Amino acid sequence: MRQVGYSEDTATANRFADYLLTQGIDAKVMLAKAGWDVWVIEEDQVAKARELWVRFIAEPGNPAYAQASLSARKLRQLEEREEKAYERRQETFERRVEGTGAIRAPLTVLLIVVSVVVYLLGMSGDKKRVQDALWFQAPSGEVQIGSPQDLVRFPFSLRAPMESIAKGQVWRLVSPIFLHLDGIHLLFNMLMLSSLGTALERSIGTWRLALMVLVLAVFSNCAQAFFGPGIRFGGMSGVLYGIAGFIWVASVRAPRMGLFMSPGTAMLLVGWLLMGILAPVPSSPMANWAHGAGLAGGLAIGWVWTTLGRE
């Protein structure tokens, strides 16, 4: 923030700040030792503001500046209305996320319960048996691709481990979303699901969210199975990226839905996605294809949804 003008008269300083606002420059009038300073908020607008100050101080009584004060008042009123509308949307979102009555988001609760139960079964029983039942493909039929030469031996149509699904085990198209390989993975995904899933379910309804989860699960799991290093992947992340993508599109294109993506959540999801791509951990690879496909699917569903006016 930089000082661009000074006046002993508060009305003159405010008139110039009003004029700056009509020129798209946000400014503040602040008390100085013997008068009033005009400060510009954005650094890249300082030079232009100082040029305007030279013109203004040459004839501060010009009627154009008085008219600018009226325009600035209307602009401030518009900003105030938009800010209040934003606050109402935020309050609506927070009520949906934090409001009492979990029964209002039964699918979200069910997804969390199933994920936790599957994880506990793996801890208390035969972990391998639980995982083998839920992998995208039964391990005995796994096709591993490790080099470009393997792609010649196994064409694209055969690379995807679809044997078990082709034999009727269609649940494997979805079941990997309930597999979490460690407690941190489970905890992170369930916290994100509780937040985003609850808000979205209360906005669009249980059955619509169920259909979205089904589509995102199949799409993200198939992407990981076709393009990833193998069939041993799991987690709700692909679905979560899809839900996040939908919420982001809806918050921009259909604000009346009351959905909101906080900057912190957006940065966390984008950072996690980039870390998996740019700094992979060989001992614990992320399902990057599932993440990317889920996000793309959610963005596409959100765009279609808001285009059709399904608010």
**Residue 144 is part of a domain; what is its CATH number?**
1.20.1540.10
In this predicted structure, the answer to whether residue 157 has a pLDDT above a threshold of 60 is no
Q: Are residues 155 and 268 in the same domain?
A: yes
Band (pLDDT 50/70/90 cuts) for residue 141 is: very low
Model pLDDT for residues 204-213, shown as the tens digit of each residue: 999 999 999 9
Model pLDDT for residues 251-297, shown as the tens digit of each residue: 988 888 888 888 888 888 888 788 777 755 555 567 788 999 999 99
Kindly state the greatest CA–CA separation across the chain: 86
Q: Which of 93, 111, 145 is the last residue of a domain?
A: 93
Q: Are residues 298 and 170 in the same domain?
A: yes
Q: Are residues 222 and 149 in the same domain?
A: yes
CB–CB of 297/249 below 8 Å?
Answer: no
Handedness of CA 203, 204, 205, 210 (dihedral sign): negative
Q: Are residues 202 and 176 in the same domain?
A: yes
Q: Residue 249 and residue 188: Cα distance in Å, rounded?
A: 23
Percent of the chain with pLDDT over 70: 83
Q: Are residues 66 and 107 in the same domain?
A: no
In this predicted structure, the answer to whether residue 303 has a pLDDT above a threshold of 90 is yes
Q: Are residues 167 and 266 in the same domain?
A: yes
Percent of the chain with pLDDT over 90: 27
pLDDT in the model for residue 189 = 93
Model pLDDT for residues 52-85, shown as the tens digit of each residue: 888 888 887 787 777 877 787 888 788 777 777 7
Band (pLDDT 50/70/90 cuts) for residue 153 is: very low
pLDDT in the model for residue 194 = 92
Q: In the 8-state DSSP scheme, what is residue 40?
A: E
Query: Higher-confidence residue: 127 or 250?
Result: 250
pLDDT in the model for residue 92 = 63
pLDDT in the model for residue 219 = 94
Phi, psi of 74 (to 5 degrees): -65, -40
pLDDT in the model for residue 187 = 93
In this predicted structure, the answer to whether residue 140 has a pLDDT above a threshold of 90 is no
Q: Which of 46, 67, 93 is the last residue of a domain?
A: 93
Q: Are residues 204 and 139 in the same domain?
A: yes
Query: Higher-confidence residue: 229 or 164?
Result: 164
Q: Where are the beta strands (DSSP E) in the chain?
A: 2-7, 27-31, 36-40
In this predicted structure, the answer to whether residue 136 has a pLDDT above a threshold of 50 is yes
Q: Which of 45, 73, 93 is the last residue of a domain?
A: 93
Tell me how crowded residue 292 is: count the other CB atoms within 10 A of its CB. 19
Q: Are residues 287 and 145 in the same domain?
A: yes
Q: Are residues 80 and 117 in the same domain?
A: no
What angle do helix axes 183-192 and 106-124 make, rounded to 10 degrees? 180
Count of residues for the chain? 311
**Bridge partner residues of 27 (DSSP):** 40
Q: Which two tokens stand for residue 253?
A: 């294109």
Domain of 44, in residue numbers: 2-93
Q: Are residues 296 and 197 in the same domain?
A: yes
Number of domains in the chain: 2
Model pLDDT for residues 26-57, shown as the tens digit of each residue: 888 888 888 888 888 888 888 888 888 888 88
Most confident of 78-82, 182-186, 246-250: 246-250
Q: Are residues 236 and 125 in the same domain?
A: yes
CATH number at residue 54: 3.30.70.2350
Q: Are residues 47 and 108 in the same domain?
A: no
